[in-house]
Amino acid sequence: HIFTIRGSADVTVSTSGGPFIQKSFQITNVGFESSITLKGCSSFPKIDYLSQESLTFDSNTGVFTLTSLVNVYNPSQFGFDLGEVSLETVKNSLVIGITVLKDMKLNMGDNHLTAITTSTSKEVYEALINTGDTFTLQGFKGSSANLILVEGLKAFKVQVVVPKQN
């Protein structure tokens, strides 16, 4: 992505005309504009499943909860403090649950985060305990309490492979 930085600054200019002639003067409110390219800000290409922390199933409500450790690689030159982020969990084009990444802080490089997925899909639960499955995580209008962040997250979509759970 290309970003434009605009602003103004007070500048001190120093000149030298020899060993005994030096002059400094200030210029105030100097305007500037510069475009910079930041690599990796267009998307975060993948979330890797690392390990299971817990898998519970409530037979009374039909809700299962998978708590897992995931890695989100941040290829950009910036760190991001996104707070709590919720993503729709999708299987075969159907939203089957929600995955929450609490206190999502992305530093440059690898970031190990706790992901909490809840769903009422018995078929998905059985697939997780028998074979594993692949899901799509995608942003939606309820992804964040921060309305500006929601606009960016609505374009977010990534597949995650979850192996058989014990």
* Residue 26, pLDDT score: 87
Q: Which amino acid is at 132?
A: G
Q: What is the arithmetic mean of pLDDT over 112-136?
A: 94
The dihedral formed by the CA atoms of 36, 38, 43 and 44, expressed in degrees to the nearest 10:
-170
Q: What is the rounded distance in angstroms from the CA atom of residue 77 to the CA atom of residue 42?
A: 12
* Residue 155, pLDDT score: 84
What does the mean pLDDT of the chain come to? 87
Q: What is the rounded distance in angstroms from the CA atom of residue 101 to the CA atom of residue 82?
A: 10
Q: Residue 113: beta bridge partners?
A: 70
* Residue 6, pLDDT score: 82
Q: Which amino acid is at 37?
A: T
* Residue 46, pLDDT score: 75
Q: What is the arithmetic mean of pLDDT over 88-116?
A: 93
Rg (CA), the chain: 24
Give the domain ranges of the chain. Answer: 2-37, 47-163
Q: What is the rounded distance in angstroms from the CA atom of residue 18 to the CA atom of residue 156?
A: 59
pLDDT at 3 over 70: no
CB atoms closer than 10 angstroms to residue 47: 22
Q: How confident is the model at residue 42 (pLDDT cuts 50, 70, 90)?
A: low
Question: For domain 47-163, which architecture applies?
Answer: Sandwich (2.60)
Q: What is the rounded distance in angstroms from the CA atom of residue 113 to the CA atom of residue 102?
A: 8
What token pair was written down for 127? 């697939």
Q: What is the arithmetic mean of pLDDT over 40-64?
A: 84
Q: Is 0.95 surpassed by the pTM of this model?
A: no
* Residue 80, pLDDT score: 82
